[in-house]
Structure 1
């Protein structure tokens, strides 16, 4: 009797193995045989689930940003600027977790691929629309400035957070100094939103 395989579970295990291998030895040094061994499958079986390392990287990028989107979506719509900032802090903490190895060692090589750029750009387009809706509601409630376009505000906050993420990824994200820098960035964002 043929063995029944849960294809979604197998793909998840392969992606987990790929992430582990890329994190341990880097994208360039990792071979498909390394990933197959880590996933506990034959190399031929591995190719039933992906076309190669580039496909795995794209899947990992998509998985990361889909997961982040799902977690952000669960945050309640903020009724005040302070509640928005609390949600922003949670978003930064969610996104920052393991950011250094994830971005620079694992996903970084995929950023050269236009398909990866499309995934990332799609996430930030979604995030800008999501936050712009919140900003429109907060402006109407007179919680934040009403003289700026909500989408422009959302894009500006995203750009500032990109800088914060990059900085914290390059330096010790868990240190007291990093926490102070992150909180200062939030204070500046709040000040800009208040006008």
Structure 2
């Protein structure tokens, strides 16, 4: 009797193997054979789940985006601006694996390999980040902690773009962790001062 394989578990296994192979070889240099070897599968089996490297790349990035958004959804509403600043700070101080994911995404999209579907997924991710920040800001506005004339939707998207810029800057350019943390602290303080009543 043939072994029954859970399709979603196998896809997750292949996505993990793709991440490892992309990080080891770089996205452009990685071949489907490398991913199959990393997953411990025959190349033909890999193609049963993903028809191309582009399809696997899209699934991998969608998985990363979903994981990053899920991490935000568990955060409580901030009680004040200090809480809000601490939450923002926690979202821009990445561990080594998260930094590798950011570098990989940047490599994929900047090399012209980014498909319309991948860019659309990235735009949806940015929209979700902006909406999350807008929701956090709305709760602060309702509690009277920030100026009432603040457009929380525009400011939420602005903050998402600032966080994105800091995260990319850290992953690609800043090797000194203490320097990066000072940059983050100054940026957050500047942003919070603009919100204060």
With normalisation by structure 1, the TM-score equals 0.90
Q: Do the aligned residues in 2 keep the contact of 1:18 with 1:35 (CA within 8 Å)? A: yes
Q: Do the aligned residues in 1 keep the contact of 2:21 with 2:30 (CA within 8 Å)? A: yes
Q: Give the unaligned 5+ runs of structure 1.
A: none
Q: Distance in 2 between matches of 1:44 and 1:16?
A: 18
Q: Do the aligned residues in 2 keep the contact of 1:14 with 1:35 (CA within 8 Å)? A: yes
Q: Do the aligned residues in 1 keep the contact of 2:133 with 2:159 (CA within 8 Å)? A: no
Q: Distance in 2 between matches of 1:81 and 1:106?
A: 31
Q: Distance in 2 between matches of 1:121 and 1:24?
A: 27
Q: Is 1:10 aligned to residue 19 of structure 2? A: no
Q: Do the aligned residues in 1 keep the contact of 2:15 with 2:56 (CA within 8 Å)? A: yes
Q: Do the aligned residues in 1 keep the contact of 2:150 with 2:195 (CA within 8 Å)? A: no
Q: Do the aligned residues in 1 keep the contact of 2:103 with 2:172 (CA within 8 Å)? A: no
Output one character per residue of 1:32-74: Cα deviation in whole Å (capped at 9) or x when no partner.
Answer: 1111111111111101110111011101110111001101000
* CA gap 1:86/1:57 in 2 versus in 1, 3 angstroms: same
Q: Give the unaligned 5+ runs of structure 2.
A: none
User: Which residue of 1 is the match for residue 179 of structure 2?
Assistant: 177
Q: Is 1:187 aligned to residue 186 of structure 2? A: no
1:14-25 equivalent positions in 2, closer than 5 A: 14-25=14-25
TM superposition shift of 1:171: 2.4
Q: Distance in 2 between matches of 1:104 and 1:85?
A: 25
Aligned residues: 194
Q: Distance in 2 between matches of 1:107 and 1:162?
A: 11
Q: Distance in 2 between matches of 1:22 and 1:134?
A: 35
Q: Do the aligned residues in 1 keep the contact of 2:36 with 2:43 (CA within 8 Å)? A: yes
User: Which residue of 1 is the match for residue 97 of structure 2?
Assistant: 98
* CA gap 1:14/1:171 in 2 versus in 1, 3 angstroms: same
* CA gap 1:137/1:103 in 2 versus in 1, 3 angstroms: closer
TM superposition shift of 1:174: 5.1
Output one character per residue of 1:166-185: Cα deviation in whole Å (capped at 9) or x when no partner.
Answer: 22122235521111111111
Runs of 4+ in 1 over 6 A off after TM superposition: none
User: Which residue of 1 is the match for residue 84 of structure 2?
Assistant: 84
Q: Distance in 2 between matches of 1:25 and 1:190?
A: 41
